[in-house]
């Protein structure tokens, strides 16, 4: 009997501080109407100077653990999808491991930007399905507001901070769990969205690298074109590989980057509004946190129920993209 990786608990965390579009209009040349029309975002959560990625990851992870009734010492794995870890090293997952007291767990981070949760779930699920690991905590989290240029209106209005988490457990004899994942990448598009300073190519300590920016660079129109194609591509491939039709999807939970990108993907798949979950209005693009935060809210609102077939899809810097189909 094969082992399936089933979600048994959800968690989330966002900073308390709310930044509305009107707040942004006070610091950069923008306005509420433009941001709402072009992105669907009304407000976002922003970390204070004292808050960092691991604070959100720990809170989201703890909630998922508690809701699944898992003891920290029973965890085998902690996988954190993030590109904004507290430090280049140690990994954020090790900070989570210590804070939760998960003394028997292996821990590592996955760097796949806004597709980080899609990648992390698949890695953890594959390890569970192998039979060598039973219980994994998977967290998607980012704090991109720490890296935006608050004078660049083309990027600073888009991002927010947030985290979501799922407990994945190996179950026998069930049709629940991960059904199919597609993971894709295209490094030729690396230049379109990047943060180049602070790595080994341009270390912070190197005066020669002072020309590189410490902030996010993004070619918005190029990323938009890529995103619309990537969402459709990943979903179509995942459905084909699962031998399913889009009409069999009960809930579509896409990466929350821009309402126009989400609507375009849903339209291509022929999914009606009631099957599409959207919370980009409240949080903006929280990168790795986006999909699990949306899953959490969908569950809380009663739109995600046990037994439903869910499709998640994400895209981001790399370029990377991918989709998961699972029975919740």
The strand pair at 309-316 and 320-327 is best described as antiparallel
Which of 122, 112, 120, 121 lies closest to 319 in space, CA to CA? Answer: 112
For 276, residues 6+ apart whose C-beta sits below 8 A from its C-beta are 252, 254, 262, 263, 266
Q: DSSP assignment of 58-87, as one string?
A: HHHHHHHHHHHT--GGG--EEEEE-SS-SS
Q: Do 295 and 167 form a contact (C-beta atoms < 8 A)?
A: no
- Closest distance to ligand UT7 from the beta carbon of 35 (Å): 6
Q: What ranges in 143-289 are assigned the alpha helix state H?
A: 153-156, 220-242, 259-269, 280-283
- Closest distance to ligand UT7 from the beta carbon of 193 (Å): 6
- Closest distance to ligand UT7 from the beta carbon of 256 (Å): 9
Which of 117, 119, 122, 80 lies closest to 100 in space, CA to CA? Answer: 80
Q: Which is nearer to ligand UT7, 34 or 108 (CB)?
A: 34
Is 219 one of the annotated active-site residues of the chain?
no
Which of 124, 130, 127, 125 lies closest to 110 in space, CA to CA? Answer: 124
Residue 230 binds to ligand UT7 (criterion: CB under 6 A):
no
Task: Tell me how far CA of residue 110 lies from CA of 20, 235, 321, in angstroms.
Answer: 30, 21, 14
- Considering only residues 42 to 81 of the shown chain, the ones binding ligand UT7 according to CB under 6 A are none
Is 202 one of the annotated active-site residues of the chain?
no
Residue 114 binds to ligand UT7 (criterion: CB under 6 A):
yes
Q: Which is nearer to ligand UT7, 97 or 145 (CB)?
A: 145
Q: Which is nearer to ligand UT7, 93 or 258 (CB)?
A: 258
Q: Which of 156, 255, 258, 324 is catalytic?
A: 255
- Residues 178-217, mask of contacts with ligand UT7 (x by CB under 6 A): ----------------------------------------
When binding is defined by CB under 6 A, the residue of 223, 262, 280, 326 that contacts ligand UT7 is: 223
For 127, residues 6+ apart whose C-beta sits below 8 A from its C-beta are 77, 133, 136
Is 285 one of the annotated active-site residues of the chain?
yes
- The CA distance from 30 to 21, in Å, is 8
Taking contact as CB under 6 A, which single stretch among the options 31-39, 76-84, 162-170, 294-302 is the one that binds ligand UT7?
Answer: 31-39
Q: Which of 47, 94, 114, 235 is catalytic?
A: 114
The strand pair at 251-254 and 309-316 is best described as parallel
Residue 40 binds to ligand UT7 (criterion: CB under 6 A):
no
The strand pair at 77-81 and 106-110 is best described as parallel
Which residue number places its CB atom closest to ligand UT7?
A: 220
Residue 221 binds to ligand UT7 (criterion: CB under 6 A):
yes
- Considering only residues 253 to 312 of the shown chain, the ones binding ligand UT7 according to CB under 6 A are 257-258, 285
Residue 154 binds to ligand UT7 (criterion: CB under 6 A):
yes
Interface residues with ligand UT7 (CB under 6 A) are 30, 34-35, 38-39, 114, 153-154, 157, 218, 220-221, 223-224, 227, 257-258, 285, 316
């Amino acid at each position: 009997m094969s082992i399936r990786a089933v979600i048994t608990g959800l968690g989330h965390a966002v900073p308390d501080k709310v930044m509305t579009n009107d707040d942004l209009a006070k610091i950069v040349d923008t306005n509420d109407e433009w941001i709402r029309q072009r992105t669907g975002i009304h407000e976002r959560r922003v970390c204070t100077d004292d808050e960092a990625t691991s604070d959100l990851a720990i809170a989201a992870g703890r909630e998922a653990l508690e809701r699944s009734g898992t003891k920290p010492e029973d965890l085998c794995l902690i996988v954190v999808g993030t590109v904004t870890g507290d430090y280049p090293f140690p990994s954020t997952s090790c900070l989570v491991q210590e804070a939760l007291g998960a003394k028997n767990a292996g821990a590592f981070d996955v760097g796949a930007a806004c597709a980080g949760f899609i990648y992390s779930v698949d890695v953890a699920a594959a390890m569970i399905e192998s039979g060598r690991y039973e219980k994994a905590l998977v967290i998607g989290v980012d704090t991109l507001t720490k890296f935006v240029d608050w004078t660049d209106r083309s990027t600073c209005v888009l991002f927010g901070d947030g985290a979501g988490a799922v407990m994945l457990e190996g179950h026998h004899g069930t049709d629940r769990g991960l059904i199919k994942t597609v993971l894709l990448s295209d490094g030729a598009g690396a230049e379109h969205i990047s943060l180049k300073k602070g790595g080994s190519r341009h270390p912070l300590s190197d005066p020669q690298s002072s020309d590189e920016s410490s902030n996010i660079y993004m070619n918005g129109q190029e990323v938009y074109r890529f995103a619309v194609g990537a969402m459709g591509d990943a979903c179509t491939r995942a459905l084909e590989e699962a031998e399913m039709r889009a009409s069999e999807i009960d809930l579509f939970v896409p990466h929350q980057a821009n309402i126009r990108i989400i609507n375009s993907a849903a339209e291509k798949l022929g999914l009606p509004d009631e099957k599409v979950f959207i919370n980009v209005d409240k949080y903006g693009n929280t990168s790795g946190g986006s999909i699990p935060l949306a899953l959490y809210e969908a569950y809380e609102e009663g739109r995600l129920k046990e037994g439903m077939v869910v499709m998640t899809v994400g895209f981001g810097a790399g370029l990377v993209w991918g989709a998961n189909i699972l029975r919740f």
